[in-house]
């Protein structure tokens, strides 16, 4: 599988993501500069990693969504390409119109860096196939603007189409207001596109892939990705 990580000015979790992908594929993915207008030929997966593109000085992700490379990413997505956006990458996907909704300031109006638990709502996506159905896994969040918001109609559509893939929950798997630290609508932590090939999520499973660092709870996501392209 050939993955490419987009580097915007201010991106800062590209190395974390590279290590996570390398762990399952054995090869460090290509780093693609935001000013490029084409993706490398044969790209299977595009990743928009976490960080503070353009310092988050405008709305998070709004500037990056206008980068030259995003036209290529949109075209890639339109052709059915796989795109993963984490944290700032999720914000950019939304600003680019590739996923619906908005990410508002956390309800507490503070940056939140802490463990969170995620309930896997469906395992028939390229990103979650290696989780057990109904699985709950621990991850970490590190964001100031991760409060997912959308109109009730959009939320109903997402739910109806089974596009809510990850929800904040307690370690036991209960979806409660206390477990939803950033205040997201319906505890949404991650959603996919209609074709399920674009995933945006706020937490950082790429930081949970190494037993010596913070455990391997996030590894099934990367194993799912790897398996998707191994069999493709």
Partner 1 sequence: MTDLPTPLEAARAKQLSAEFGLKGDEYDRVLTILGRTPSLTELGIFSVMWSEHCSYKSSRFWLKQLPTTAPWVIHGPGENAGVIAIGDGLAAVFKMESHNHPSFIEPYQGAATGVGGILRDVFTMGARPIANLNALRFGAPDAPRMKRVIDGVVRGIGGYGNCVGVPTVGGEVNFHPRYNGNPLVNAMTVGIAQADRIFLSAAAGVGNAVVYLGSKTGRDGIHGATMASTEFAADSEDKRPTVQVGDPFAEKLLIEACMELMATDAIVAIQDMGAAGLTSSSVEMAGKGGVGIELNMENVPQRETGMTAYEMMLSESQERMLMILKPGREAMAEAIFRKWELDFAIIGHLTDTGRIVIRHHGVVEADIELAPLESQAPLYQRPWVPTPKLPVLGAVPDPVGLKAALLTLVACPDLCSRRWIWDQYDSMVGGQTAKRPGAADAAVVRVEDHKRALAMTTDCTPRYCLADPEEGGKQAVAEAWRNITAVGALPLAITDNMNFGNPEKPEIMGQFAGAVMGIGAACRALDFPVVSGNVSLYNETEGRGILPTPAIGGVGVLEDVAQAIGLAMPAGHDLVLVGATQGWLGQSLWLREIAGREEGAPPPVDLVAERRNGDFVRAQILSGAVAACHDCSDGGLLVAVAEMAMASGIGAVLEAKGDHAFWYGEDQARYVLAVPAAAPVLAAAAAAGIPATRIGHSRGGDLVLPNGDAISILTLAAAHEATLPALMRDGA
Residues identified as active-site: 87, 204, 206
Q: Which is nearer to partner 1, 209 or 225 (CB)?
A: 209
Q: Are 179 and 105 in contact (CB under 8 A)?
A: no
Cβ 18 vs Cβ 32: under 8 Å = no
> Binding marks (x or -) toward partner 1, 100..129, rule CB under 8 A?
--------xxxxxxx---------------
User: Is 57 one of the binding residues for partner 1 (CB under 8 A)?
Assistant: yes
What span, in angstroms and rounded, lies between the C-alpha atoms of 127 and 102? 22
Q: Which stretch binds partner 1 (CB under 8 A): 36-44, 51-59, 154-162, 172-180?
A: 51-59
Q: Which two three-digit tokens encode residue 35?
A: 């000013």
Residue 173 within binding range of partner 1, rule CB under 8 A: no
Q: 27 to 46, contacts with partner 1 by CB under 8 A?
A: 33, 35
> Which residue has 């390398």 as its token pair?
22
Contact with partner 1 (CB under 8 A) among 74, 104, 135, 142:
142
Query: Segment 189-228, which members bind partner 1 (CB under 8 A)?
Result: 204, 206-207, 209-210, 212-214
- Based on the shown chain and the rule CB under 8 A, indicate whether residue 16 belongs to the binding site for partner 1: yes
Binding site for partner 1 (CB under 8 A): 9-10, 12-13, 15-16, 19-20, 33, 35, 50-52, 54-57, 108-114, 140, 142, 144, 204, 206-207, 209-210, 212-214
């Amino acid at each position: 599988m050939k993955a490419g990580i987009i580097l915007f000015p201010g991106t800062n979790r590209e190395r974390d993501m590279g290590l996570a992908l390398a762990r399952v594929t054995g090869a460090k993915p290509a780093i693609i500069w935001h000013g490029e207008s084409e993706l490398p030929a044969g790209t299977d997966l595009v990743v928009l990693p976490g960080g503070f593109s353009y310092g988050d000085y405008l709305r998070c992700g709004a500037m990056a969504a206008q980068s030259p490379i995003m036209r290529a990413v949109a075209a890639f997505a339109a052709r059915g390409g796989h795109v993963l956006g984490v944290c700032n990458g999720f914000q950019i996907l939304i600003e680019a119109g590739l996923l619906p909704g908005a990410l508002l300031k956390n309800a507490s109006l503070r940056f939140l860096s802490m463990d969170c638990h995620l309930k896997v709502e469906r395992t028939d996506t390229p990103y979650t196939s290696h989780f057990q159905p109904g699985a709950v896994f621990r991850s970490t969040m590190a964001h100031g603007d991760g409060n997912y918001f959308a109109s009730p109609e959009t939320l109903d559509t997402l739910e109806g189409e089974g596009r809510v893939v990850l929800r904040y929950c307690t370690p036991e798997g209960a979806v409660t207001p206390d477990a939803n630290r950033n205040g997201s609508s319906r505890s949404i932590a991650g959603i996919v596109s209609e074709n399920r090939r674009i995933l945006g999520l706020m937490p950082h499973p790429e930081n949970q892939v190494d037993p010596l660092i913070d455990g391997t709870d996030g590894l099934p996501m990367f194993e799912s990705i790897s398996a998707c392209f191994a069999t493709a």
